[in-house]
Structure 1
Amino acid sequence: MSKEEARARVEAVFNAASDYFDAPALSFWNRFGQQTIDHLALCPGDRVLDVCCGSGASAIPAAVRVGSTGQVLGIDLAESLLQLARDKAQQQGLENIKFQAGDFETLGFPDESFDAIVCVFGIFFVPDMQAAVRELWRMLRPGGKLAITSWGERVFEPANRVFWDAIAVERPELVKSFTPWDRIRCPDLLRGLLEESGVTQIEVFTEMGTHDLTTPEDWWTMCLGGGYRGTIDQLDSAAKERVRQANLQFLRTYQVHALEVDVLYAIAQKSEV
């Protein structure tokens, strides 16, 4: 798949997923976005770039942290998600934040333009992750910090496995042999990506936690509001309903009330020298 095809695919999936992206069942976006910003220790007046910003889960907390003298720019491919972000920022009265559609690999900002750069659950969608990280690092000022957040070894298990098993019954050709974040699914791989991209002073944190389900239906809402949507939308209505029922039946039968979710946070600081 070419870079242009990959870009178009991600854009289409997340524009489609925008109808459920901010549903309460997907509160993990805000949780992990906030925790990414907490790791950065931003200061009032900082200028922040948030790429793959989605509906603002990390950009909005960053805007709150940097205050009225700071600035936050959120970039994403999916215009539908950006509109959700703009609406939330407006509701919170934030005037120091702007959201725009774009490909962060070709933004063209001058060197050393930002005090902090954030990418939460997005770097793995780029075919050439090293080139993407180098571009982010180029735009970071000396002394500034880069935050990359990604999924770890276990993501929404056991429901994730059940989802793909059900897809295999209906449309085996849609089953993915690996997920995009597999390339950086453990601390050593994520650290290696950053080191190979010329990034320095790297700390990687692993969070092994859970995401609670209020009802089994929450899981299907999560599927519709995230990357699974691209697979679901390729099913006809009957197959879609069979996959949904297989997932819900498993969760009910085994009384699954929480899903395992591992998250990796990498924070790197650019040398002053």
Structure 2
Amino acid sequence: MISKEETIAKIGTIFNAASDRFDAPALSFWSRFGQQTIDRLSLSSGDRILDVCCGTGASAIPAAISVGSTGQVLGIDIAESLLKLARNKSQQQGLENIEFRYGDFENLGLPSESFDAIVCVFGIFFVPDMVAAVRELWRMVSPGGKLAITSWGEKVFEPANKMFWEAIEIERPDLIKKFTPWDRISDRTSLKALLEAGGATQVEVFADAVTHELISPEDWWTMVLGGGFRGTIDQLNSAARERVRQGNLEFLRTNEVHKLEVDVLYAIAQK
């Protein structure tokens, strides 16, 4: 049985490695869905925001812009390399109302009811006990404040995702996952139930089925290296990695795949 600490360390290692591609143009979806999460919150000038699993600031930076100079945003992540990129981006934009800090959001020790909005975009499903995680986030939401949790739906970059795992199964069957972390909350009902189980109230879940454009097949491989797939790829030897890459690119070219289907779920709760 893998301990919680080992799980956190493993995830941190994967995303530290993925930081070399994380902000590549092919991964513009991070910013796209981060911005849309913030847009749904209708933040006000002066609001205090906590963004957990903040990555390179895809939602934290738009939040900092929304709350203005009198507001404050705290971004938390376990991948130091992503936090470094986030700090650089916020500095380049001249934002002085945002701080990025290393930490495990389940053990931040921050005061109760201290944030007007708390955001977690594509991160809650990495936690084994999601109900406990939601409960901890909800504890820190101030009266009248909101909790926003964004997750993947049933389709995640299809058909490339399915083709990727088929290629991995040929090379390393032991690396095949029977389910992905977000499968537990990949529909509106299960995501709403999660938030309510964690004590959240007035929960609404919005489903969005969109496409992500590929300028070239190589964009898909950049996406593989810039996200959670990186943990699988880094366990292959160089020959197997190249076979998977070539197979992926050939599939996309042969089938003339220029866009991928993506389902995103946005859950908003108000205290």
Give the structure-2-normalised TM-score. 0.99
Partner of 1:161: 162
1:96-126 CA distance string (max 9 Å, x none): 0000000000000111010000000000000
Q: What is the CA–CA distance in structure 2 between the aligned matches of 1:168 and 1:34, rounded to whole Å?
A: 35
What's the counterpart of residue 94 of structure 2? 93
- 1:75 match: secondary structure: strand
Could you give the per-residue CA deviations for residues 14-58 of structure 1, whole angstroms, max 9, x where no partner exists?
000000000000000000000000000000000000000000000
For 2:189 and 2:107, locate their aligned partners in 1 and report how far apart those are by CA, in whole Å: 28
Opposite residue 99 of structure 2, the aligned amino acid is K
- 1:62 maps to a residue whose letter is A
How far, CA to CA, are the matches of 1:261 and 1:132 in structure 2? 25
Mapping for residues 6-21 of structure 1, pairs under 5 Å? 6-21=7-22
1:247 aligns with 248
Other-structure match for 1:61? 62
Match in the other structure for 2:31: 30
Residue type matched to 1:83 in 2?
Answer: K
Match of 1:81 in 2: 82
Q: Which portions of structure 1, spanning 4 or more consecutive aligned residues, are displaced by more than 4 angstroms?
A: none
Within a 5 Å distance, the mapping from 1:124-163 to structure 2 comes to 124-163=125-164
Q: Residue in 1 aligned with 2:262?
A: 261
1:151 CA drift (Å)? 0.2
Match of 1:198 in 2: 199
| Aligned position for 2:105 | 104
RMSD in angstroms over aligned alpha carbons? 0.4
Q: Secondary structure at the match of 1:201?
A: coil
**2:77 aligned with 1:49:** no
Alpha-carbon offset, residue 154 of structure 1: 0.3
Q: What SS does the aligned partner of 1:40 have? A: coil
Task: Give the whole-Å Cα distance in 2 for the aligned partners of 1:2 and 1:131.
Answer: 16
* Cα distance in structure 1, aligned partners of 2:223 and 2:111: 38
**CA distance, structure 2, for counterparts of residue 81 and residue 218 of structure 1:** 20
SS at match of 1:109: coil
Secondary structure in 1 aligned to 2:145? strand
Give 3-state SS (helix, strand or coil) of 1:215's partner.
coil
CA distance in 2, matches of 1:229, 1:140: 33
Structure 1: which amino acid aligns with 2:267?
A
SS at match of 1:250: helix
Give the Cα separation in 1 of the matches to 2:150 and 2:109: 23
What code does the residue aligned with 1:4 have?
E
Aligned to 1:179: 180
CA distance in 1, matches of 2:194, 2:97: 32
Is residue 2:225 matched to residue 1:211?
Answer: no
Residue 113 of structure 1 corresponds to 114
Provide the aligned length of Structure 1 versus Structure 2. Answer: 270
Question: Per-residue CA shift, 1:37-83, capped at 9, x if unaligned?
Answer: 00000000000000000000000000000000000000000000000
Counterpart residue type for residue 213 of structure 1:
L
Q: Point out the more displaced range, 64-73 or 191-200.
A: 191-200
| Correspondence for 1:232 | 233
Instruction: Please give the per-residue CA displacement for 1:115-169, whole angstroms capped at 9, x wherever unaligned.
Output: 0000000000000000000000000100000000000000000000010000000
Q: Which amino acid aligns with 2:21?
A: Y
Kindly provide the CA deviation profile for residues 232-267 of structure 1, in whole angstroms up to 9, marking residues without a partner as x.
Answer: 000000000000001000000000000000000000
> How far apart, in 2, do the equivalents of 1:213 and 1:125 lie?
27
Q: Which digits, 9 at most, give the CA deviation of each residue in 1:203-250, with x for residues without a partner?
A: 100000100000000000000000000000000000000000010000
What is the CA distance between 1:2 and its match in structure 2? 1.5
Name the CA distance, whole Å, in 1 between partners of 2:92 and 2:127: 32
SS, match of residue 54 in structure 2: coil
